[in-house]
Amino acid sequence: MIIEKRLRRFCAVTAFCLICAALPAAAAPAETVKRQNTLSADDIQYNVNTGDARAKGRVVITRDGSVLKGDEAEGNTEKEVMTIRGNVDGSFPGQQATLKSESATWTGDKTKKTDGVVEAFGKVLLTRAPKDRLNADYVLWEIGTENYKARGNVDGILDNRILKAAEATRTGDKFWARDVRRYEDLVQKFVLSSKTMEGRLAKDAKSGQDTLQEMVADQNVVFDYVDKDGLKTRVTGDKAVYSKARGTIVVSGNTKAVRSDGKTVTADTMVVHEDTRNIEAKGNSKIVFVVEEKAKKEEDAKNTGTAKAGAPAKKGSPSAAETKPASEDKKPAAETKNSQLTDEEKNWVEK
């Protein structure tokens, strides 16, 4: 039997009432929990035999106080699945959350461990009080939890963290991201990018917000922070490991550090200490200091003037220094400004 209702104004039907917590037949009736959902629209078609439903025009789906609105919807009440399309606008008061997207599928949780799952597609914006927001092409959210999956142009502010990536996932206290363009920790005050990233969060006892406990970033690692002198510092490498317990960020593999004044350090491994913001270089370490071009020109002019006067060359003259083996010079190498920097690093320093 198919029941069809066509109304020009708001229409509410109870045909979409679902038993959302049905227990096995052996369970006592008193333990069975029923949740009522409603589907309303200008035009609704519902098959009471199959549970199939279609709706058009000012569609509103409600479930335990949560609401999804859109232009049209279709689904099945028995399977607890409804897909809503066109100007989707959702409100989840119990979670202090809102949702906007081009379309969304709302699925009930048969296990009743969560309030169901929402999958949103196309220009998704998921927000949660007081300031969280998550933009992406696709977002799957387990209602009633902080678990989510996001893909495509992921751009979010989550508690005290900013994330921009191609893909990101959170399950419990664990998170993972791919092609991370920017991960900024507003508490630890650092910015990081990498090919992949995974870590663990924990609630801060004072603020109640999630704080980073540990993290591993792999491939094309770029780590930015401000050092104790107030200068920008960028450390690059193949891998970075952060530990809140140890208070360190260890960067390894083709490691290089550049300060905004042009000074550079290279080493096998670098340890950035969170409290002092100092860098500890380990293995094949080299520091390149910066000297001003003006000072170098004055020295050249002085030597040139001496030569013109006919004075004999002094020991340790520039010509002698050029032939001196590098291994015999124990002083750090002195370079002109930016001479050891790549074009990308020069642009970063000059910002």
Q: Total domain count for the chain?
A: 1
pLDDT at position 321 is 41
337 pLDDT higher than 70: no
Q: Name the pLDDT band for 7 (thresholds 50, 70, 90).
A: very low
Q: What is the pLDDT of residue 127?
A: 97
Half-sphere exposure of 139 (CA within 13 A, CB side): 29
pTM: 0.76
- CB contact at 8 A, 63 and 51: no
Q: Is the dihedral of CA 5, 11, 15, 20 positive or negative?
A: positive
253 sits in which H/E element:
strand 248-259
CB 110 within 8 A of CB 139: no
CA distance 288 to 242: 26
The pLDDT > 90 percentage for the chain reads: 61
The CATH number that applies at residue 52 is 2.60.450.10
CB neighbour class for 35 (10 Å; exposed up to 12, middle 13-18, buried from 19): middle
* Residue 97, domain member (yes or no): yes
- pLDDT tens-digit series, residues 101-136: 999 999 987 666 667 899 999 999 999 999 999 999
Task: Establish if 186 belongs to a structural domain.
Answer: no
Rank 143-147, 263-267, 306-310 by mean pLDDT and report only the highest. Answer: 263-267
Model confidence at 346, in pLDDT bands (50, 70, 90)? low
**Enclosing domain of residue 76:** 1-158
> What are 58-105's pLDDT values in tens digits?
999 998 889 999 999 999 988 889 999 999 999 999 999 999 999 999
Question: Is residue 72 one of the residues assigned to a domain?
Answer: yes
What is the DSSP code string of 29-74? GGG-EEE-EEEE-SEEEEETTT-EEEEEEEEEEEETTEEEEEEEEE
Burial of 315 (0-12, 13-18, 19+ CB in 10 A): exposed
Calculate the average pLDDT of the chain.
Answer: 82
Q: Answer yes or no: is 46 within a domain.
A: yes
pLDDT digits (tens, 9 = 90+) for 181-216: 999 999 989 999 999 999 999 998 888 889 999 999
- DSSP letter at 110 equals T
Position 144 confidence tier, pLDDT thresholds 50, 70, 90:
confident
Amino acid type, 320: A
Q: Determine the longest span between alpha carbons in the chain, in angstroms.
A: 114
Distance of alpha carbon 139 from alpha carbon 121, whole angstroms: 7
CA distance readout (Å), 275 to 213, 239, 268: 15, 21, 22
| Residue 294: strand, helix, or coil | helix
- 8 located within any domain: yes
User: Residue 323 has what pLDDT?
Assistant: 43
- Phi, then psi, of 296 in degrees rounded to 5: -65, -40
Which pLDDT does position 295 carry in this prediction? 53
